[in-house]
Amino acid sequence: MMDYDYKLELKVRDYECDMQGIVNNSVYMNYLEHTRHEFLLGKGVDFAELAKNSVNLVVVRAELEYKFPLASGDQFWVGLNLVQSSKVRFDFLQDIYRCGDNKLILKAKITGTAVNQRGRPYVPDEIKGLFKSEKE
């Protein structure tokens, strides 16, 4: 198991499950997004403030590898690391584990960038300071 810069614990709610009784595949994107937002908020990065300053954080690619399903009532945690992947992009490396047995549920890489007033991609200073060092 990887060391994570941030972890968030959550619980599956009944309405997130499909007819098979497991979490619907699209719901995992919500778990991942909520974790990214909580991580950034905890680091003082406010989406609303950035948007007011014409800085829009956007997802440009999402890669999800489903390993095992969660079911209603399962408690789980999401681990997150943030790394710079290019001059204008960054990756949120996120994994979901079931609490109790730490069973790997999902692996994800969510690639993002920021878009400035002219629609040009870049990495704002507010994000640059959050990258995990490659030495770690």
CA angle 62, 75, 16 (to 5 degrees): 60
What's the chain's Rg over C-alpha atoms? 16
Catalytic residue ranges: 18
Pairing of strands 121-122, 75-84: unpaired
